[in-house]
Amino acid sequence: MRIEEWWPLLEPDTRSWLIVHNGDAIPQPIIDEIRAVEGVATADMSWVGAKIPAGFFLSDDAVDWIEAVANEETPESS
């Protein structure tokens, strides 16, 4: 599922956190919420970025998409 499909299904507080912390490692409770509305993350999903010891990150495209939403722009489809 693309980010534009699951984004509106997230709780408003979660969307706000993702905007404020755009590009940061995603805490487990937020990953859990995304997975609950989207499904288990796999590497072929456009919004999935790196999972390294420092944490789970969104892809560059997803970070750009969220930035566009935060700037009240129309984001490009992922």
Q: Which pLDDT does position 67 carry in this prediction?
A: 95
Residues 6+ apart with CB under 8 A from 12: none
Structure tokens at 60: 């560059």
Residues 6+ apart with CB under 8 A from 29: none
How far apart CA 41 and CA 28 sit, in angstroms, is 13
Question: What total number of domains does the chain contain?
Answer: 1
Q: Which pLDDT does position 38 carry in this prediction?
A: 83
Q: Which pLDDT does position 19 carry in this prediction?
A: 97
The residue range of the domain holding 26 is 3-70
Per-residue confidence of the chain (78 residues) as pLDDT tens digits? 788 889 999 999 999 999 999 999 999 999 889 889 887 655 556 666 656 666 788 888 899 999 999 998 988 765
